[in-house]
Amino acid sequence: MLPEIQRERIDVVLVSPRNPLNIGAVARAMANFGFTQLTVVAPYEPHWREARSAVGAPELLANARETASLAEAVRNCTLVLGTGTLTHRKAEQPVVRLDNLAPLVAKALGSGKRIALVFGPEKHGLTREDLSFCHILVEIPTDPRQPSMNLGQAAAVGLYELATRVEPTDRSTLLEDRIHPGIATEEPQAAEKPAPTSGNLDILASLIEEVMVAAKYSPATMQEANRHDLRLMLRRLKLSAADGRRALGLFRRILWRLKR
């Protein structure tokens, strides 16, 4: 299984879950595969920590973090994986099938990233707004006649893949033959540069939005749509942490000039 030190850098995030029994089932699945970091975003029921379905995982449930927003929950993560189906949505970010996720996670863990695996509410899953905080949409393949899964089952399937399919690594490189078996690389790839956290990207997005308002870029009615698109764009750009800081300084200077 994936080493414990790497499993501790994978956060399981539940967005607005309605049924405490489902939260308990997720906690139990996490305990089954050795994951300990659970965050619950704006839960519907106030007494979710008392769920009896958390068999063998009451301590994990008691120590879970609660946040008011998804932005706060994933603030310290550098790779945010949203889960869902493509049956009723058109993805606005890269899509990776669950069975193809392991090499990507191995590479992220090898370069020291903190990862969030995000699940949406039982009734409709992650919204378009929720997914704007995600770098990647992870699709769990299902029969089209029954595309949705129970929250606890989806978490169990996802965590099994991460715990057993991800190759432990201390390197930031991902050899080509992990993606294309039989094709070897002669030279390792260069080490990946540190990435900005989700929280830092949100700070940059807010600043760019402020510049857009100051420059009268678009009417007030478009501000919410612009905010959504900015979050997605910054995550698709795959900036390094240094590039993020440079962009922050640039837009601060532009805003200062505009306000003068």
Domain residue limits, the chain = 4-178, 198-259
Q: Report the alpha-carbon distance of residue 183 to residue 135 in Å, rounded.
A: 28
Tens of pLDDT along the chain (260 residues) come to: 899 999 999 999 999 999 999 999 999 999 999 999 999 999 999 889 999 899 999 999 999 999 999 999 999 999 999 998 887 778 899 999 999 999 999 999 998 899 999 999 988 889 999 999 999 999 998 888 888 889 999 999 999 999 999 988 654 333 333 444 443 334 444 556 789 999 999 999 999 999 999 999 988 888 899 999 999 999 999 999 999 999 999 999 999 999 98
CA nearest neighbour of 158 among 26, 68, 1: 26
DSSP assignment of 165-183? HSPP-SSS---GGGTSTT-
| CATH class as words, domain 4-178 | alpha beta
pTM of the prediction? 0.87
